[in-house]
Amino acid sequence: MATLLTAHLFFFVVFFILSQSCFSTCSKQSRAAVVLPLKTQMIPSSSIPKPPNKVSFHHNVSLTASLTVGNPPQNVSVVIDTGSELSWLHCNKTPNLLSTFDRLRSSSYSVIPCSSPTCTKRTRDLPIPASCDSRKLCHVTLSYADASSSEGNLAFDTFRIGSSASPGTIFGCMDSGFSSTTEEDSKTTGLMGMNRGALSFVSQMGFQRFSYCISDRDSWGVLLLGGGGSGSNFSWLQPLNYTPLIQISTPLPYFDRAAYTVQLEGIKVSDKLLPLPKSVFVPDHTGAGQTMVDSGTQFTFLLGSAYSALRNEFMEQTRGILTVLEDSNFVFQGTMDLCFRVSLNRSTLPVLPTVSLVFRGAEMRVPGEWLLYKVAGEVRGGDQVYCFTFGNSDLMGVEAYIIGHYHQQNLWMEFDLQNSRVGLAPVSCALAGQRLSKGI
């Protein structure tokens, strides 16, 4: 569930492909794994070297990859988003965009007519049905949780990661929407959808499993397409705890059937389980209340009753440790209304309790250092402002629990489509990157 990109550049990541994927020339069963080691560095994007077979990554509100599309290849930068299906590129040059895909320059680009089965059948999982425009081309419209939207035509072209090519990849060539407000945002060409829908990148490539480890600061991380986090080659990784993906057969108005939906069963602050009935976490008859694992959202959002219970308990356990910002008019990003004042003279935060998200069969433990986020430019007297990194879904206007990537740092996250489950285990992303780069 991608949001518009913010101006905050936390990390710049460079990764390279160590093994080749056979992409469209292989069956799903024999798909070769692609190992993508990541190195985070606090360096300006203008100084990144661009040698062959390397792909640029940076991490702000999402994971952003640089790859090539078309013939001759054009460099594009796309957000990797497990909460979205259709990959898309900006195709219309506008003053606020520095990076667009020029379809007229690509000899392998082709549009998809609205009468094509690709348009009439393969778009079935999109939230807004495809339509037919005045030129009888397949027209798609995308909308996101932050009220941003875009529209354009469905098309085919060749996507390349490193030296591996996938001809005939379906994507959206978008002509409007998603206006950028910062220079960093304007460099992003589009988005790579990674959910379970028929048109997602992993579905089109035939990968039955992918994993990632998101690094925290200046350390190694990794994205692995194919393969798995088990066996002798992963002896350095703790056994994964798996939670099943929730699937429903009947379409419901507020349930995203293509999302990576898991069952949240409880929330703990330190070791104290919040006194919430499990029914609070179960989707209702409309589908509202599902829990989605989403790399395209930065923070984690809870429905109102669960958020209020967590907010109150966190305040209680940090009483005398943190000073609450008493300003009802300040709500960070419009969804986070619990903020604190921390002295400018303080170089580190105090020790804070952990928050654990309890799933069916697995638990995600968020350490205290990732529970507060410094708000750039907000100073009150001699204090800086930090906000709680859990937000209220009700304020965002979304009827769902969303597990964002900020709370997935230094966890091995495996999305196992073949067995319909998500696995997780704590891991040092530095260790994961080093071991995989050596093939061990």
Q: How far apart are CA 361 and CA 209, in angstroms?
A: 19
Closest CA to 405 of 243, 223, 197: 223
Mention every residue, 6+ apart, whose C-beta is less than 8 A from residue 135: none
CA 358 to chain centre: 20
CB 268 within 8 A of CB 274: yes
- DSSP calls for 8-40: ---EEEEEE-SS---GGGS-STTPPPEEEEEEE
The residue with tokens 């170089």 is 347
Is 394 one of the catalytic residues?
Answer: no
Which residue type, as a one-letter code, is found at position 315? M
Which whole-number Å values give the CA distances from 330 to 136, 307, 314, 382, 432, in the listed order? 48, 18, 19, 18, 39
Select which of 81, 216, 337, 416 is catalytic.
81
Which residues, 6 or more positions from 150, have their beta carbon under 8 angstroms from its beta carbon?
Answer: 88, 141, 142, 172, 174, 176, 177, 178
157 given a catalytic annotation: no
3 state SS of 126:
coil
Read off the tokens for 272.
């104290």
Please tell me which residue in 125, 185, 256, 294 is annotated as part of the active site. 294
Residue with tokens 């654990």: 356
Residue 382 in tokens: 């001699």
Residue 153 DSSP SS3: strand
Residue 252 burial (C-beta neighbours within 10 Å; 0-12, 13-18, 19+): middle
> Tokens at residue 85, please?
């299906």
Size of the chain in residues: 440
* Active site residues per annotation: 81, 294
